[in-house]
Structure 1
Amino acid sequence: MIKVGIVGGTGYTGVELLRILATHPEAEVSCITSRSEAGLAVADLYPNLRGHYDLAFSEPDPDTLAQCDLVFFATPHGVAMRLAPELIARGTRVVDLSADFRIKDLDVWAKWYGMPHETPEWAEKAVYGLPEVARAAIRDAQLVANPGCYPTAVQLGLIPLLENGLVKTDRIIADAKSGASGAGRQANVGMLHGEIGESFKAYGASGHRHLPEIRQGLVAASGDSQLGVTFVPHLVPMIRGIEATLYAELNNPADFDRLQSLYEARYRDEPFVDVLPFGSHPDTRSVRGANHCRMALHRQEDSNLVIITSVIDNLVKGAAGQAVQNMNVMFGLQENLGLQAPAMLP
């Protein structure tokens, strides 16, 4: 049984970790921390977990956390880079759900996250935890940087094209939309239902902190350091889900005929990627609560553009579910353990 700790358990990703791990047959949550809610029973804050946990939130204590086999950090940016190295030095493995270790260029990281990185040696050693790309490295990692939600949907949708050199890399477009839970659980007037209900808007159109993470992954897949990508996120009035519509121009229009089989072959053995029939329109509710990415390919008449639609649940495959998937890989478990429940409908 894997002894698990969670640092920062009161946000949406924290409670999603608790929900998933509650029925995981090989993992047990032994401690969960929150400075603001220390002493409060987990079930009192999250009544959906009544009967599943006899735990209270506690102050973060390195000695207690170091007794765990693995610690998840579901914390604001800047926390994991300070505490994780101490735990790793004491033999505890870490999956960080924040952005602290995702971006290798620390000048870029500092620009987007507004602080200098305090542990550059671990930023270099961390494994970027997209299992569909880095499974072998994740298996042996001490520290896994769990990908962001938008970067997961975008990278999975584009990687087969880039790995095979099929598209022009100077002008890739990712047009993505997310539900409100992607902004976190903190109080924010702009995220009130009265503010976002019956409305739809772009944000971060002049630049978003997920852009360098997306570009880093696409450059790695393509091998083209000059790759250009435009990423524009949008806020839609729903709680969960991301839909990314992706555009890339084929080098050879004749390759359209083999794209469907190429995608199916690339993801055939991936338990959490589902390539739908050509021309399908995956919707976010088809992955709600599940650790799946569903995608489909499209072509408009007489166009050289390939269009990919990719959907995930931002709290599951985009955060907590992928973190548990990474844990399973790290400990040599069946990869879909604890993640086998189908999506919720309606």
Structure 2
Amino acid sequence: MQVKELYADEALRIGSVMLEMSEEVKEADGSILVFLHKSVDGDCVGSACAAVSMLKNMGVPAKVAMPEKLPDNMAFLGVDDLLEYIADPSAEEITIDGKKVVKVMSVDCTEGSRMGDMGQIYDRFEDAVTVDHHEVTELRNDRKWIEPQASSACEMMFYVAKQTAEMLACDIREVLDKRAAMCLIAGIVTDTGRFTYTNTRSETLEAAGELMDLGGDIMAVCHNLFDKKTPQEFRISSQACLNTEFFADGKLAITTVSEQMFSDFGATKDDIGDVVSRLRDVEGVELAVVLRETGEGSVRANLRSKTSFDCSEFAGRFDGGGHKRAAGFTVSGKAMADLKDQVVKEASELL
């Protein structure tokens, strides 16, 4: 099956850049860090781990610069050996396995400001290679592939791997191993909501099918990322749903999760990941919002919409971003109750 026209040229270009970068790193006897955004999800983790796997198969040391602990529900991917937790990102020299980091790459993210403490390292490099499906027009150049039509960064990385294999005249399994295929299908499943969101295209389904042929277990991915629940997760997500309030004639559904709730249920932020989608699925709801206290003096908002509301544009009012149907933002120095009132007022006016 040929690479789809939507991806062919750009995937080929990025594959070429990755090969060139790997040769430069070999000559420098260095290493590569791959960066992703904080509040990690299946797409950024999957695409980053696949990129690292590809770079290692090109013969260079590479790791994912993790801004936080890998969520428990992603442990099934078995990628701990690909992850790097850097204790002092302000250090003058960062090394991987004793080799200085001389090149960087980012996936599902273009700005160091979204990478937590790891952004201190990323921002030192001006020649980062980037693969992202968020609209960031001002950052386009020959080393960045920005494709808002793609369902996910993982879908894009699959086509990069496919074009790389063609350039090397080798079987794709020599570029993308079984574990990397699992990581990529996890990201695609995450960002398409199990192929139910409007960002699911024919290219997306074909990529998923080929990744299954390469060893990606879609049933294991769906079970671990969507279906499996701990008692703590079940209880806090149920309570968050019970606390939901409806505004704008039922078009807006919003709930809040406080630090105290997390403490009472013995839960973590990852335990409420499904709540916003459950609110959006309520009949008549056009916009769903979940606000949670982060424990760092800030409030995180997650937004999901159906057809008529642009989540990305709304999140931009609070210096956030994302996609039309899924976005988020973080606000510091404001009480969650006050932020909720502001969100309800501004969103209701738009709805």
Q: TM-score, normalised by structure 2?
A: 0.30
Q: Which has the higher helix share?
A: 2
Q: TM-score, normalised by structure 1?
A: 0.30
- Higher RCO, 1 vs 2 (CA within 8 Å, ≥6 residues apart): 1
